[in-house]
Amino acid sequence: MYDMAAFLQTDSDKCLYEQIYEHIREEIKGGKLRYGERLPSTRTLADSLQVSRNTVDFAYEQLLSEGYIEARERRGYFVCKLDRHLPESPAFVESIRDVQREEEKKYAYDFYPNGLDMSVFPFGVWKRINKNILTDSNTELFSLGDPQGDYDLRETIVRYLHASRGVNCTPDQVVVGAGNDYLLLLLEKLLGRHIRVAMENPSYKRAYRIFNSFAYHVETVKMDQNGMRADDLKTKDVSLAYVMPSHQYPTGITMPIGRRMELLKWAEGDDNRYLIEDDYDSEFRYKGKPIPSLQGVDKHGKVIYIGTFSKAIAPAIRISFMVLPPALLEKYKKDCGFYASTVSRIDQRILNEFIKDGYFERYLNKTRKLYREKHDLMLQKLKPFQKKFQISGEESGLHMVLTCKDKKITEEELVQRAAEADVKVYPMSAAYLTCVEKKDAVILLGYGGLTLPEIEEGISRLENAWGM
């Protein structure tokens, strides 16, 4: 048995137990102490090191728990068998610095279709609610909540949906989740594998990519001015159709009631058929009242309604929800009911009070007013464009669609010329799921995230860039 005394440094900032532990560990890893070799008894070592027995016990405990040594009854401690090529824990290279977050080129004027205006968000209110909720008396909020979301919030959502969107459901049908993407991940578990899903073309690319990541087969369905064509849908071998009836992205089409009934009829044609209604920014409408939801007229449990507060309140509020028809609800409870909620109960509680106390409605009205001003300014500023462009999708949402009448001009040209004027515009073609036969040059102009002066200047630049 070798003498350990040498290595002990009483002046070291490491405690003695740690020094003993580390020394023996290194001896073992270094091969100086070999497999099966017997270690001194704790008493012997304690004596030889002039340290308390506990110190050695503690060091041995650590070596035991990490599996460097083992205790054999009444025989003492022995070195365990280790993989010879035990890797050293690699040094922590400060590689953090190296990692670059690629920064996108910034434009002076970015007509991003999903841009939002947070300027009128009632941070004060949000803070106050937040503050009142985070009291010691609310410690239960720090415990894990209902997988479907807290009942109070679901009840509030049900009332809100019924009043504002004509959705008919019970809190039991509502599943709250952190964003639409997550809800679609859950839906995959309910709908199963190898699903063939119908989508409009162009459509919401994110949903398309998500379906692809599910290895779902996406069939694109022909559109007309009323959205997805039911007659074409009937010819497709699909069991699921993904639609945005109140405001199709990116075309901005609102699906008329007649077409909605046709889609529902298609779904009723087979037990396994469902419609996913993505009620994408239905909150913002500039003509007439909001269109009631497809779910509201569905009498046979064919519609999976998906909505989110990320757009109406703030993208960072990761709270979306879906309303499951009875058949899928049953399956959810059986197969997915155990998935833990992805939304903090605190956020759920804040949102619940934000809605219940009427702040949400007030905020919505403010933003509607705000976006209407921008919407009207857009239309006014775009008047000169009407020679060269047809403007559509302006009745709702936060972007407009400009279709170029001049067949010789390409989207690329328009985007490029805008870019040269430091203005970013978005080509419709980016929203095509599958390449389509030569289409017109179509540009999307989002105005939600721009101020009125920015819209003013941005459109003026486009006017010059595109030579109106």
The only residue of 19, 27, 68, 239 in contact with a second copy, by rule CB under 8 A: 68
176 near a second copy, judged by CB under 8 A: no
Cα-based distances in Å from 152 to 149, 157, 184, 328: 9, 9, 23, 22
Q: Which is nearer to a second copy, 7 or 339 (CB)?
A: 339
| Region 18-37 residues binding a second copy, contact defined as CB under 8 A | 21
Binder of a second copy out of 160, 232, 273, 292 (CB under 8 A): 292
Reported as type and span, the H/E element at residue 461 is helix 452-465
Residue 59's alpha-carbon distances to 15, 24, 49, 188, in angstroms, are: 10, 9, 13, 51
- Would you give the binding string for a second copy spanning residues 364-403, x where CB under 8 A is met? -------------------------------x--------
For a second copy, the closer CB: 227 or 458: 227
- Per-residue binding letters, 238-277, with a second copy (x by CB under 8 A): ----------------xxxxxxxxx--x------------
Compute the least distance from the CB of residue 272 to a second copy, in Å.
18
Stretch that binds a second copy, among 308-316, 374-382, 413-421, 437-445 (CB under 8 A): 308-316
**Burial profile 132-150: b = 16 or more Cβ within 10 angstroms, e = fewer:** ebeeeeeeebeeebbbbbb
- Please tell me the distance from the alpha carbon of residue 281 to that of residue 297, in angstroms, as a whole number: 19
Question: Helix 411-420 vs helix 452-465: angle between axes, to the nearest 10 degrees?
Answer: 120
Choose, by CB under 8 A, the member of 37, 61, 440, 456 that binds a second copy. 61
Kindly tell me which residue out of 189, 369, 383, 405 binds a second copy, with binding defined by CB under 8 A.
189
Closest to a second copy by CB, 108 or 120: 120
Minimum CB separation of residue 282 from a second copy in Å reads 12
Binding mask 125-144 for a second copy (x = CB under 8 A): -xx--xx--xxx--x-xxxx
Q: Which stretch binds a second copy (CB under 8 A): 3-11, 235-243, 337-345, 355-363?
A: 337-345
Binding positions for a second copy, 69-128, rule CB under 8 A: 80-83, 86-87, 89-90, 92, 95-96, 98-99, 101, 116, 118-119, 121, 123, 126-127
310 binding a second copy? (CB under 8 A): yes
Cβ–Cβ < 8 Å for 178, 157: no
Residue nearer to a second copy on the CB measure, 60 or 466: 60
Of the candidates 363, 241, 251, the residue with the CA atom closest to the CA atom of residue 294: 241
CB 180 within 8 A of CB 308: yes
Instruction: Map the footprint of a second copy across residues 194-223, applying CB under 8 A.
Output: 206, 209-210, 213, 215
299 binds a second copy (CB under 8 A): yes
Q: Which residue's CB is nearer to a second copy, number 347 or number 411?
A: 347
Q: Are 282 and 247 in contact, with CB atoms under 8 Å apart?
A: yes
Q: Closest approach of Cβ 458 to a second copy, in Å?
A: 20
Cβ neighbors of 49 (< 8 A, separation 6 or more) are 4, 5, 8, 16, 20, 55, 56
E strand or H helix at 210: helix 205-213
| DSSP states of 257-296 | HHHHHHHHHHHHTSTT-EEEEE-TTTT-BSSSSPPPPHHH
Place of tokens 């290194």: 26
Footprint of a second copy on residues 154-173 (CB under 8 A)? 155, 158, 162, 166, 168, 170-172
CA distance 308 to 319: 6
CB of 224 to a second copy, least distance (A): 12
Whether residue 240 contacts residue 196, with contact meaning beta carbons closer than 8 Å, is answered with: yes
By CB under 8 A, how many residues form the interface with a second copy? 104
